[in-house]
């Protein structure tokens, strides 16, 4: 029986990451070899695992599984094939349940006993507490049981463990299928596959951003309704683990905007925030330098792409990156570089910080007043210093009050801000004061660029960090 008419017919998304990943691999192989029967597909997989990968599957399957069990030495192929033959034929084997509902897809009928042998990170042996009714394993229908055997071709090596993209969106699943599973199958065709696939990134957080970028470039869309989730797991012996890194939907949409329209500037901005021991950042040439054997050499991206990155950590940890953006605006201005695109900041405050248009306009208006006052008094440094050094909330309020007073003393018709706007838009409930200060300064530097203010008027160094625990930004 052809696979297309068998198991694949029931390739429904179950919501279980492991079963669905196996299903995706099964679908890919089935499409590549439409004439192969189910057992021929299993045989293909056994050949890959045993002959090409030398059974190096210990991070996915347990040593008690038929393909790895040392007591089956010399009989791995035969015993694995015979096990899956019974499953494909829906034949009763030891520990079967005659009748029941599959735990992952809900199908009624004969169910097969699955444990950590082939089902990563599930319960096994005495660990019945992993299962709601304290069964000795997870009981699955034949299709879901079979899919688990396909998992290794759907994962990549990350931090010495296995990683895969989990999503319930078809188009994102297709991306994974095309980029990873097809790549695996191509390597098998070329006889260059020797084990679980490697990607240029080994650090999972960086890999998540790399994959997000690949998706944005490949699966083009103005607005994504999905989020991306990278599951990192190992089912290895006594030390199984599972970590989930989720890229929230607002961050995904923010990346979509900046990568589509400002990719060059975004990459340059990100590079500045890698942690590189003993290296120095050149803010004019946008390069990292390190002294090696008495020689100063520029580092290449490959040298540090697996180091931790402050911006990635902040974006995943729901922390604001506005101060870092603000410093980018200032450094571009100070170093006479072209203007850092204000659009990156706008996309960030719209998509991630969820600031209202009224709030942004109000902050821009206050910035204009600060600029006009500085111009009139021929002293840009004085006001700029007041805001840049405001490291605490009361210092920012104090600086604002000075502006309000100076504006009145200078004979302005309109106040800087009315009390309703102050309460509703400048500091509404839940608004982090540091973000208001950062945005004010970003507008000011934009203005300095546009008006060509003398750079000697600008205080040296980076802007003071706001000293209050940063609020969690609204990601809803």
Interface residues toward Zn ion, by CB under 5 A: 102, 105, 107, 141, 144
Shortest Å, Cβ 14 to Zn ion = 7
Shortest Å, Cβ 144 to Zn ion = 3
Sign of CA dihedral 96, 99, 103, 104: positive
Shortest Å, Cβ 174 to Zn ion = 22
Shortest Å, Cβ 13 to Zn ion = 11
Task: Decide: 169 and 226 in contact? Cβ < 8 Å.
Answer: yes
Chain-centroid distance of CA 31 in Å reads: 29
Alpha-carbon span 474 to 250, nearest angstrom? 9
User: Structure tokens of 35?
Assistant: 């004439």
Closer CB to Zn ion, 141 or 417, in the complex? 141
Task: Decide: 322 and 329 in contact? Cβ < 8 Å.
Answer: no
In 190-321, which ranges are continuous DSSP H helix?
Answer: 204-218, 249-261, 263-271, 301-304, 310-316
Closer CB to Zn ion, 173 or 271, in the complex? 173
Helix (H) or strand (E) holding 380: helix 380-388
Shortest Å, Cβ 158 to Zn ion = 28
Sole residue written with tokens 């097969």: 112
List, in order, residues 6 or more apart from 353 with CB less than 8 Å away: 320, 322, 435, 473, 474
User: Structure tokens of 1?
Assistant: 């029986």
Closer CB to Zn ion, 141 or 390, in the complex? 141
Sign of CA dihedral 54, 60, 66, 69: positive
Shortest Å, Cβ 99 to Zn ion = 14
Closer CB to Zn ion, 91 or 376, in the complex? 91
Closer CB to Zn ion, 21 or 205, in the complex? 21
DSSP three-state, residue 104: coil
Task: Decide: 248 and 475 in contact? Cβ < 8 Å.
Answer: yes
Shortest Å, Cβ 65 to Zn ion = 19
Angle at alpha carbon of residue 289, lines to 287 and 295, rounded to 5°: 140
Closer CB to Zn ion, 144 or 228, in the complex? 144
Closer CB to Zn ion, 102 or 321, in the complex? 102
Shortest Å, Cβ 312 to Zn ion = 37
Closer CB to Zn ion, 103 or 257, in the complex? 103
User: Structure tokens of 208?
Assistant: 């998540």
Shortest Å, Cβ 11 to Zn ion = 10
Closer CB to Zn ion, 138 or 458, in the complex? 138
Alpha-carbon span 403 to 416, nearest angstrom? 8
User: Structure tokens of 210?
Assistant: 């790399």
């Amino acid at each position: 029986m052809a696979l297309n008419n068998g198991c694949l017919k029931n390739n429904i998304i179950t919501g279980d990451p492991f079963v669905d990943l196996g299903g995706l691999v099964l679908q890919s192989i089935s499409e590549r070899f439409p004439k192969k029967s189910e057992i021929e597909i299993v045989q293909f997989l056994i050949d890959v695992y045993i002959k090409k990968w030398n059974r190096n599957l210990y991070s996915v399957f347990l040593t008690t599984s038929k393909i790895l069990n040392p007591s089956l030495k010399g009989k791995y192929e035969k015993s694995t094939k015979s096990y899956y033959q019974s499953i494909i034929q829906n034949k009763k084997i030891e520990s079967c349940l005659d009748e029941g509902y599959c735990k992952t897809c809900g199908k009624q009928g004969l169910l097969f006993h699955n444990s950590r042998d082939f089902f990563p990170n599930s319960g096994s042996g005495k660990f019945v507490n992993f299962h709601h009714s304290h069964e000795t394993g997870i009981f699955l229908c034949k299709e879901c049981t079979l899919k688990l055997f396909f998992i290794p071709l759907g994962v990549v090596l990350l931090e010495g463990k296995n990683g895969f993209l989990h999503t319930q969106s078809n188009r994102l699943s297709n991306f994974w299928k095309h980029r990873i599973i097809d790549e695996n199958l191509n390597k098998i065709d070329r006889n260059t596959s020797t084990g679980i696939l490697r990607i240029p990134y080994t650090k999972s957080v960086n890999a998540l951003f790399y994959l997000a970028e690949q998706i944005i470039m490949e699966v083009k869309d103005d607005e994504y309704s999905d989020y991306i989730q990278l599951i990192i797991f190992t089912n290895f012996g006594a030390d199984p683990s599972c970590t989930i890194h989720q890229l929230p939907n607002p961050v995904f949409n923010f990346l979509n905007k900046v990568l589509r329209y400002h990719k060059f500037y975004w990459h340059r901005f990100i590079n500045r925030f890698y942690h590189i021991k003993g290296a120095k950042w050149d803010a004019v040439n946008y390069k990292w330098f390190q002294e090696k054997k008495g020689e100063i050499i520029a580092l290449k991206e490959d040298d540090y792409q697996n180091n931790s990155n402050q911006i990635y950590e902040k974006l995943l940890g729901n922390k604001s990156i506005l101060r870092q953006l603000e410093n980018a605006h200032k450094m571009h201005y100070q170093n006479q570089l072209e203007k850092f695109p204000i659009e990156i900041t706008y996309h960030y405050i719209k998509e991630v910080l969820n600031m209202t248009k009224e709030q942004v306009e109000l902050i821009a208006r206050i910035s204009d007043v600060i600029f006009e006052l500085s111009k009139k008094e021929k002293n840009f440094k004085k006001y700029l210093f007041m805001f840049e050094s405001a490291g605490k909330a009361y210092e920012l309020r104090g600086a604002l009050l000075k502006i309000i007073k100076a504006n009145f003393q200078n004979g302005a018709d309109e106040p800087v801000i009315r009390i309703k706007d102050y309460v509703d838009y400048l500091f509404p409930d839940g608004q982090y004061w540091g973000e208001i200060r950062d945005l004010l300064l970003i507008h000011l530097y934009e203005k300095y660029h546009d008006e060509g203010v003398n750079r000697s008027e600008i205080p040296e160094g980076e802007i003071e960090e706001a000293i209050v625990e940063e609020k969690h930004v609204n990601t809803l």
